[in-house]
Structure 1
Amino acid sequence: MLNKEETVFVLVDVQGNLAGLVHDKQTLFSNIQKLIKSVQVLNIPIIWVEQTPGAIGETIVQIASLLTELKPISKSTFSAVKNDEFLAALKKTDRKQVLVAGIESHVCVYQTAMDLHQQNYDVEIVADAVSSRTQSNKQIALLKMQNKGLTLTSTEMALFELIGDAQSKEFKQIIKIIK
């Protein structure tokens, strides 16, 4: 189970024109917004990465506008784990559970998640908050990650695990975000 004291949220490459080309983009954007707002309420650290923003473009406004307190980490490697700045930010959190969302499922999300898993992080992929240009690439990526031992979750499932109790002070705030 996810624990808010042990979890870090990793947001991967929701950028430029590519973001507009992914399958079911409106659901993706909505779920990522819910995740960001909710993990902020829960004081869960966020690590935000962008794939070669000079070429692909910056994170889309509706996502970036929620992250004004953070600076994205620019990377050229498909796996964020192969980026020293990302690795330093992750180690600084001193957390072992990683919740991953973003694009593309079969490239940067997959490679980042697999490398995190190989480094003994407990990785959960938010299946309704990742996407690829084609639905088949997303489905193959999710299947392959699951077969390699990673856990799939959904936006609501992850958030309710992190909240843990309807009596918690965060529950009322997050339920408004989810609905």
Structure 2
Amino acid sequence: MLPFRIEPERAQLLLIDLQDKMLQAVFDREKTIRNAGILIEAARTMGVPIKFTEHYPKGLGKTIPPIMEKIPPVVLPFEKIHFSCCDEMGFDEYLRDDRRDQIIISGVVSHICVLATVMDLLSQGYPVAVAADACSSRDPDHHRMACEAITAAGALVAPVETLAYQLIRRAGTEQFKTMLPFFKA
């Protein structure tokens, strides 16, 4: 994959399996949730479509309320049972619906569903950016190894702040002013 720059007109945000039972088992749960929320705010501020998946919601529950509250109500979850979203029938159409070819990812579990999905998206030619601090695994080493594998495969792995600023592009705009409070120390 060639280096790329995230463009708000080409990007969409994909949230993978931010469900209660999935998040209960990961390290830095609250940080992951907070950062996923910031990424959603950046996407909404910049007009970037938001998509989200739920892995076996019958057994693992729905997307957690702090995330659902930020997702526009017209956006429906894509239910799946495969670890890679791309293996699920209909996912390709779900993803292509907005005609956006850059994918920004937040989700759990980094070394399983996130990694498998990223690898498949890259193999299909999508430029992919992963928000490392808005993803997590049960074991920090597994998260680190997943991020290393994702980087080696050609995706951009960066913090939420980096990805948000790539979407915003410049200071002094209303969008910048909207997002600035999320990043002030």
Normalising by the residue count of structure 2, what TM-score does the alignment of the two structures yield? 0.92
| Alignment partner of 1:171 out of 173, 176, 184 | 176
Please state if 1:147 is matched with 2:152: yes
Q: Quick one: structure 1 residues 139 and 121, their matched pair in 2 at CA, closer, same or farther if it must change by over 3 Å?
A: same
Offset from partner CA, 1:9-64 (integer Å, 9 cap, x none): 00000112221220111110110010111211111011100100001111111111
| Alignment partner of 1:57 out of 51, 54, 61 | 61
| Alignment partner of 2:110 out of 93, 97, 105 | 105
Alignment of 1:27-106 (within 5 A): 27-69=31-73, 70-106=75-111
SS in 1 for 2:24: helix
Q: How many residues end up aligned between the 2 structures?
A: 179
C-alpha root-mean-square deviation of aligned residues, in Å? 1.2
SS in 2 for 1:130: strand
Unpaired stretches in structure 1, ≥5 consecutive residues: none
Unpaired stretches in structure 2, ≥5 consecutive residues: none
Offset from partner CA, 1:78-110 (integer Å, 9 cap, x none): 111122332112111211111011000001000
* Percentage of pairs with the same residue: 29
Letter in 2 for 1:48: F
| CA contact 2:42–2:167 (8 Å) conserved in 1 | no
Please state if 1:17 is matched with 2:21: yes
